[in-house]
Structure 1
Amino acid sequence: METFSIRKTVLFVQIWIMLNVSPSMAWCRFPAFSKLQLPLQTIGPEASAFDRKGGGPHTGIADGRIVKYQGPKVAFTDFAVTSPNRTKARCDGKNGPELQQICGRPFGLEFYYRTGPVGVALSKDNSYVLITEYITQRIQRFWLKGTKANSSDVFANVDGIPDNIKRTVLGDFWVAIFNTKQPTTFSLGQRINRFGRVVETCNFTDQYNSPNGITEVQEYKGKLYVGSLDQNFIGVSRV
């Protein structure tokens, strides 16, 4: 009976997807999922960034450091700190939020190349910026140029809590979505085109089965780099 019940549930989910998901939206398939392991006793690679020469990824972790990935033989090394009061003896490997005032805690890491503000996504033609809204579960667009300059509108509504948003080289946007609807939680990366339409969804729930889900999905040279608040690795998957 239990096996029949599971099969029935799976069949129901498949039917629901066929009836409710737009045919133009693709579900990505993972040929492989790998992990870039953080230094010992550290967690929380909330966001990733690559420098102008392609070095990295760099990521901010819970003990206040920004670390840089130097390849499989070296792994991560210290790159920067986020607090003048931080000491290695007191902070390295200490991930508790009570030490953030002393050790610092980097969020929303990004390199500034004169392409726009940090923490939001700038459109490819620099005409607007996108800002994710946690409570309203939507992405807001603020116009910088054109007849709509200095006004805003809703770019997209999402089914869950949006976190970091990153633009791709082609002008689409990847946004991390954490869906906390009971009884199941989902960690999704969704690629949204310039018209505000979801064109691809990647389900990272199996890789990030935690109460905090994922915080970022960034596409770089054919790979997706996935961030989180409570894991000890950066997830990597091919597009």
Structure 2
Amino acid sequence: MSDGPCPVLWRRTKRAKRLSLRLDPARRQVVVTYPHTVSLKRAEAFLDAHRDWVKDRLADLPPAFLLQPGASLPFSGRSVTLIHAPDQRQPARLEDTCLTIGGDRERFEQRALCFLRKRAGLDLPGELLALADYMDCKPSAIACGNARTRWGSCTRSGRIMLNWRLILMPEPVKRYVMIHELAHMTHFDHSRAFWAHVDRFHPDRLAAQAWLKAHGSTLLALN
């Protein structure tokens, strides 16, 4: 299936008991896992036998998020249009609902991503601290990272990591992720008490979770 609709990652491991495949929605690639006792040729045949399943799962994915001139993206609760200005000296400039990227077209996406990640690092910690004060807790440290499988994390010591892509989420969804991680400072588990604590500060968490399930893979594809 090398000429198929998406790339394939072959994972041969001693821990695998059988052939299996899954679709990585963030990287938009098929992951085939197979035991050491199985040949690559047999694994390829296994994938070919499930070609229709792969195509169906790809069709279910939301459209890829493209950072290109003319595109619109959600940013801190508003819609922002990306504009290319080759002669602009600044790598990126945000004004109202326009994010203007300067320089060569070849580096447009890279500069847009750089701006978004930098703004996330500046904006998200302050928003988290405001919620922490509201929830009567105090993180020991806050960082913004580039995780590809989670939106945030909280350690037992109270160090919270936020995915920089939160800055591209609707405000209620971003708020839910932050409340979720802060709630772990009170309940370091996913018990009923934990979810009750989350619901106390975010009554619409089910809607936020549904949004993440429907659109999260699109944001995670941004790298």
Greater relative contact order (Cα < 8 A, sep 6+): 1
Provide the TM-score with structure 1 as the length reference. Answer: 0.30
Identify the structure with the greater helix proportion: 2
The structure number with the bigger radius of gyration is 2
User: Structure 2 length as normaliser, TM-score?
Assistant: 0.31
